[in-house]
Each structure stands twice: as structure tokens, then as C-alpha cells.
Chain A
């Protein structure tokens, strides 16, 4: 079953641009990325779009579809009515390069600043041993495909460009949580999380969790536990005292 859909696609670059309207054929079972490809093949040969796997695993085709941060390859056309106009824009939190392609280097800069995984010394036989129950919390965050939809939707930087200097964003707060919870890691990242990566800027409105295509519970399993660990360190007089007088074991 084929029908003609109306698409509005943002075209332009950092100097300006606008939403341009196209009528394009849609076949049964297609996703938004298929339609963007057809648009490029038939009507807009110079439309810039970043994509790779078409399977929701590479995190390249992030865009905003009808105002919602989504992966184009995972957004089925069947979720829209046939008469519904579908609007596709680039991620609004990052500088645009051209059309649907944005410059996400902010994220790579923040990623490089996270204190690296630092394991304890190896066992005598040269191995690192850990139990599955100890590491599975961190493994949830390893599902991240770095599509940066959570970074895009986070109002702390989406609505306040100036906060980019002081806030790492949800993707890197869960990276800090992942490492802080890791049974082998020996670096303490709690002070850095609060003082340098802006954990306190998060007001846990959970949009990052809502848009994550991997279904990672960023807020409940990552950011809030990290906030609680920071409270242990900086704001709870009892745990502070306990660790000072040696009555609170580190683990």
C-alpha cells in the first residue's frame, strides 16, 4: 500500500534556513529514514543527512520528528496518519552543519574529560575477577549507542547554551555513574561529578529516559544514584562523620 505523504524538512546551515515542504511516496513498512532517502534520490539530491546502520544501533540518524527527538531509522511511518504532515528537523541543541546534520563535538569533548576507567591491581594470576551481580548495573549504561538524543532533549543545555561549559549532560552523567559503580574501578568521581560535570544542574525531569532508544533508565538507575552518592559525600553530616571516623566502610 503506497500513499503520498507531506514532509516538512529543515534545510539550511548555520547562517540560516527554513522548513521546506515536499510530497513524497511512502510504502508499507517504511521508516522516516527511508522517506528521507527517497527524498534525496528523487527531489533533493543535496540534502545532507547522517546515517549508517538503519537498525537503531549506530546512533547516527538522530533528528527531531514532529518536534520529538527520535532516531529516523526507528520511527515507523505507520505511527503517523496518512494525512498527517511529518516535520523533520536537525537536533536543536547542537550547531547545525547543513540540513539534518549537526556538529555534536560538544559530546566528544565532554567524553574525553571523564576520568578514565582505572582498575585496581590485577590478581596474582594476572586476571581481573568480578561477579556478574556487581557489574550488571554498569552494563545497563554500556548499551548506550551515543545517539545523543538525551543530550539533545535535556533542557539544561537545550534551552541554555551557556550551561554547556558547566554541564556534561545525561549521557556523561551516566558514564560517571557507570564508572563510580564499577567493582574494579578505584577512582572516586563524586566530587568531580558535582563540581566539574554539573550534576546539580539536573532537575531529574526524566526527558533523557523518555527519549532513549535503548531504553536505558538514565535517571532512576544512573543520575539519581549518583546524586545520592554525592549526598553521602557532601551533604549528609552522618555519612560524612561516619567516613571520617572510619565507621563507614567504603564498600
Chain B
């Protein structure tokens, strides 16, 4: 007999209170103040400028959406040998400018090739745990800021469709990782000159490379990646390599928000650079 604590029935060391069984039901509010709470009419008593952060997020995401939509539908000025805009990569139809990727099918010329592939980067960002926080707060005001009342009478969170669909995030990550590989491939192709000769490098090469690196770091710093790499394990000591990988991903995960914004900005800057080259507004700065 050891002198340990007595173990209750079923091996539990303490008792568990009875609880409701079955699936939770969605809440139905009536918008009225909750009973017995302190009678405070103000939606919030915060005195700081809590609205600045959601406002900045709205501005940034709306501007990005307008720009990305315009460029995706423009169907022009997205390729300047040897660079291709990340909005159009991989370019998979016979209607593509340049030949940076195998042409898989003949699409109608009026459909922009960007529209076939943009769903993948859109997928990981729309279901990303950081962006969810950003847009739930800023666009849906649920809540607009901490301890600031939300305007909705009813709230069911991510318990029902369509928001239950946020759980596909890991599949969006898998797709994004494929796109990440293709963007590195684009960056390698950028070590050529306008004639296709290898061993050259310009400012555009660096920009494409930096963009590919930032997007890759954004993908691997994702919470789903952290879970898949090792987070799901309960005994790290039996999986030392996965534990090391989990530690590295966890470090990156702490910077997931910064990487989300940095990579969003880098996509725009890369696209702008290619646009300026493609329209002959500027010339590429060639290093060698």
C-alpha cells in the first residue's frame, strides 16, 4: 500500500458534480438587461480610445480588399519577365501572360486567371484564428473591444453554420502550404533575366523572395500548424523531434498577428512592383 491520496470511483481524485447532458442549445437573448446585475446603463465606462484599433483594422482590410479585387479582375499587367505577381501565381490557364507555370487548361479569356487560385490564400486568412479575432471585433462588433457591449441581441458564436465552417482551417493551411511552395518556385525563376538566362538577380528577385518567406512564415506560425506539428500530443518526452518542432512553431505562433499583417503588406508591395514593371512605369534595378 502506498501512502497516496485516496482515489475515488472511476479513478478520479475528486468528485464531479452532475451536469446537463446532450448538445448545447443556441442562446436566445431578448436584449434586456440581465436580472440582478448592477444597474449601469452605459455600454461601457472605458475612458480610453478603444475604438481606434477596430477602426484601423476595418480601414486596412477594406483597402486591401478593394485593391485585391481590382487587381484580381484586372486580368492584365501581372507579369514582367521574369517576375509574376503573387495574386496570379500559379497561373494555370493558356490565357496567362508569360509561362511561369504549366498551363493546365484553356479558360475563357474573360475570366482572370487570378480567380482560379485566390480562393486558397483567401481561405487561410478567412479562417485564421488571428483574422477571426480581427474581423469579429472590427466588422461584427462582437465585441468591438473588451468590456464594450456588443450590439447583438443574440449570440451563438461558432456553434452553427456558417461559422462552424471555421473548423476547416487546417485544410486551408494545407492548400496555403502548396501555394507557398509555388511562390518559392517563382522566386527561384526570378534568378533569371528578361531573356530567360539564369544567374541574374534584380530588386524584384529580392522582393519575390521576401514575399515568399513572409507568406511561408505566416503559414507555419498558424495555430493549426502548431497543433499538427506537436500540439495534439500529451507526451512530448516520447517525441523529442516533434517537441523541438512544436517549440519552434510556438515561438513563431507568438508573432502570428505581426506575420499576418507583414505578409499581407508584402503581397501588395510585390504586386505593385510587378505592376509598375509590367506597365513600363519603372525599370527593374538589376544587381547582376
Give the B-binding residues of A (Cβ under 8 A). 10, 12, 14, 16-19, 64, 66-69, 84, 87, 89-90, 92-96, 102-103, 109, 112-122, 126-127, 131, 133-134, 152-153, 155-156, 158-163, 165-167, 180-183, 186-187, 195-196, 198, 200-207, 210-211, 220, 224-225, 227-232, 234-236, 251
Contacts and interface: CB of A to CB of B under 8 A. Distances in A.
B227 A89 contact: no
Nearest to B14: A116
Given A114-B16, A156-B157, A160-B29, A251 B235 contact: yes
A14 B34 CA distance: 11
Contacts of B40: 10, 19, 89, 92
Contact of B167 (A68, A131, A186, A231): A231
A87 B48 CA distance: 13
12 contacts: A68-B46, A92-B40, A94-B37, A109-B17, A119-B11, A134-B234, A166-B25, A205-B133, A220-B253, A228-B170, A228-B232, A232-B232
B223 interface: yes
Kindly name the residue among B2, B45, B158 whose own CB sees the greatest number of chain A CB atoms within 10 A: B45
Q: Which 10 A-B pairs have the closest CB atoms?
A: A126-B2, A67-B45, A67-B46, A161-B34, A112-B17, A95-B36, A207-B146, A228-B227, A200-B159, A131-B237
A198 B39 contact: no
A10 B39 CA distance: 9
Nearest to B44: A67
B49 interface: no
Given A134-B237, A156-B157, A64 B45 contact: yes
Kindly name the residue among B35, B36, B223 whose own CB sees the greatest number of chain A CB atoms within 10 A: B36
Interface size grouping (class) on chain B: 35 or more
B104 interface: no
B159 A201 contact: yes
Interface in B141-190: 142-143, 146-150, 152, 154-159, 163-164, 167-170
A201 B46 contact: no
Interface in B189-247: 223-224, 226-227, 231-238, 243
Kindly name the residue among B18, B163, B233 whose own CB sees the greatest number of chain A CB atoms within 10 A: B233
B4 A122 contact: yes
Contact of B4 (A126, A181, A232): A126
A90 B38 contact: yes
Given A14-B36, A153-B146, A134 B236 contact: yes
Nearest to B11: A118
Contacts of A122: 2, 4
Contacts of B157: 156, 198, 200-203
Kindly name the residue among B8, B10, B40, B167 whose own CB sees the greatest number of chain A CB atoms within 10 A: B40
Interface string B1-23: 01010011011111111111111
Contact of A203 (B10, B27, B48, B158): B158
Contacts of A121: 11
Kindly name the residue among B11, B17, B27, B238 whose own CB sees the greatest number of chain A CB atoms within 10 A: B27
Contacts of B16: 112-116
Contact of A181 (B24, B26, B150, B234): B234
Contacts of B231: 225, 228
Contacts of B236: 131, 133-134
B53 to A, nearest CB: 11
B129 interface: yes
Nearest to B18: A113
A17 B152 CA distance: 26
A121 B47 CA distance: 54
A205 B142 contact: yes
Given A207-B147, A236-B170, A160 B155 contact: yes
Contacts of A14: 35-37
Given A67-B47, A201-B155, A207 B17 contact: no
A173 B159 CA distance: 15
Contacts of B25: 166
A11 B137 CA distance: 31
Contact of B227 (A68, A166, A207, A229): A229
B63 to A, nearest CB: 22
Contacts of B44: 67
Contact of A207 (B48, B143, B154): B143
Interface in B77-99: none
Contacts of B132: 203-204
B136 interface: yes
Contacts of B39: 12, 16-18
A220 B221 CA distance: 12
B251 to A, nearest CB: 12
A114 to B, nearest CB: 7
B159 A69 contact: no
Nearest to B50: A67
